[in-house]
Amino acid sequence: MASTNQSPFYQKAEEKFLAAQTDEERITYLEEMIRECPKHKSSEKMLANLKTRYIKLKKKIETEKKTKKSSGKVGIKKEDLQAVIVGKTKTGKSSLISLLTNAKPEISSHEFATKTPVIGMMNYNGVPIQLIEVPAIESEYYDRGIVNSADTVLILITDLSQISEIEKIIERAPGKRIILFGKTDLLSENEKRKISATLQSRKYNFLLISSKTKENIEQFKEKLFQSFGKIRIYTKEPGKEKSNRPIILLPDGSVRKVAEKILKGFSSKIKETRIWGPSSKYPGQVVGLNHKLKDMDIVEFKTR
Ligand SMILES: Nc1nc2c(ncn2[C@@H]2O[C@H](COP(=O)(O)OP(=O)(O)O)[C@@H](O)[C@H]2O)c(=O)[nH]1
Ligand SMILES: [Mg+2]
């Protein structure tokens, strides 16, 4: 496409078009090029050319959108502990996921800013937890598949009336539910008390939080971990500090389970096991391989 004798506006648009990273960007600049292309006889061929490209690109984007929609889960690898954040638009989902994880979605005062699921990893005292922000429930981009496969569903609301609306939509989701009443920095103590009393009376598992002031964010992390129904076991070698990363087990997991999670066959090499923490009668108690562990126990293995 010879553009040397085109207007500077056209040339600018073409420059942007050539530098564009996505088809969405390309199409906006292509539109601009069509607009800026002179409409006289000598440019007729060029204009027709641009229009053909425009139509082709538009079709490509459309088909990509369709295939993405029908297989929305593609590309999300489910981690061991996974929670999704659902809620209406502008309730603070993106703010929460960007506070808790490495994900940096657009935070916006505009509606429906998040159009694809946002995935982030959170590190809670060495426990990796995957958090996913699902596009707002009332948007066409809401993804039921991801919500149905999550271990825990976080219902983020800014008004009590939103609960029943969301509950209808997530009816089939088998995950545990936690209600998060957000933006509490905008509420008075009295308003917060009333909301808590209502949620309590309806027997919800809930917390009042603010991403802005970080109110109850630490409590939320612990509640989230508890919702998965797993226990954390820290291991140590004799004379050394306990590990930073706990081993995650189902409740009542045994000492043998921990050993086998460290390395297959490891349990047969253990000469002695000592434990500290909630399942021990006293610090450093010697136990057998069948001993049942509790959340936050520390296990020390002696192999020779
Ligand atoms: N006061 C206050 N505003 C918040 C809080 N969290 C989010 N917001 C604001 O609410 C708007 C929507 O936030 P966003 O995270 O994009 O919501 P989303 O649409 O649910 O993802 C933005 O203007 C945020 O700055 C909060 O804890 N307190
Ligand atoms: Mg968002």
Confidence of residue 1 (pLDDT cuts 50, 70, 90): low
Q: Which of 84, 88, 90, 185, when mutated, tests ligand 1's pocket best, judged by the most ligand atoms within 8 Å of its CB?
A: 90
Q: Which residues pair with 129 in a beta bridge?
A: 122
104 close to ligand 1 (CB < 6 Angstrom): no
- The Cα–Cα gap between 304 and 297 comes to 22
168-210 per-position pLDDT tens digit: 999 989 999 999 999 999 999 999 999 999 999 999 999 999 9
pLDDT at 5 over 80: no
CATH number 3.40.50.970 is the correct assignment for the domain at 231-302:
no
Backbone angles phi, psi at 237, to 5 degrees: -100, 150
* Of 164 and 262, the one with more pLDDT: 164
97-147 per-position pLDDT tens digit: 999 999 999 999 888 888 899 999 999 988 999 999 999 999 988 988 999
- Cα 127 to ligand 1 centroid, rounded to whole Å: 26
Domain ranges of the chain: 8-70, 82-227, 231-302
Strands 247-249 and 118-124: unpaired
pLDDT at 286 over 90: yes
Residue 80 pLDDT? 82
Whether 82-227 and 231-302 share one fold: the answer is no
Share of the chain above pLDDT 70, in %: 95
Are 240 and 257 spatial neighbours (Cβ–Cβ below 8 Å)?
no
185 close to ligand 1 (CB < 6 Angstrom): yes
Backbone angles phi, psi at 236, to 5 degrees: -150, 160
For the domain covering 82-227, report its CATH number: 3.40.50.300
